Amino acid sequence: MTAVLVLEGPNLNLVGTREPEIYGYDTLDQIHAAIATRAAELALAVDFFQSNHEGALIDRLHRRDFDVAIVNAGGLTHTSIALRDALLAVQRPFIEVHLSDPAMREPFRHVNFLQDIALESIVGQGARGYHLALESIARRFGGGGG
């Protein structure tokens, strides 16, 4: 079974209450429950890790106990060369997901250190973006083996 790590960065723990007009009203726990349900339907194993600390995200990647990742790096997308380096170093493919579309927001959000190394980027789809990423993973890697 393909093992999927959903890795989420700073402030995503506040989804549902933080600027819901941008990020939606579902909490991260609700989003994760829906992801887990969809992953099971697609025969994918899924694990979640969210941290407000860049080093914790990097340490989690270094465990290399997954086949493919879905990464919503939050604000670190625009600032973290260290996270980019970790994603390259662990040699695992990943799909980048953002609830909003950073390109349609403030100019500083137009910088993206992850997009060119991701298999694909899914932006502006809200929580549905995670489901689209799972479906892409199932198509690319299958659910039955990694």
Given 23, 32, 130, 131, the catalytic residue = 23
- 130 classed as catalytic: no
- 32 classed as catalytic: no
Tokens of 8: 């989420």
Tokens of 7: 């890795």
DSSP track, 83-119: HHHHHHHTT--EEEEESS-GGGS-GGGG--SSGGGSS
Given 32, 98, 130, 131, the catalytic residue = 98
Kindly provide the residue ranges of all beta strands, DSSP E only, lying in the chain, ordered along the sequence: 3-8, 45-50, 68-72, 94-98, 120-123
3-state secondary structure of 29: helix
Catalytic positions: 23, 98
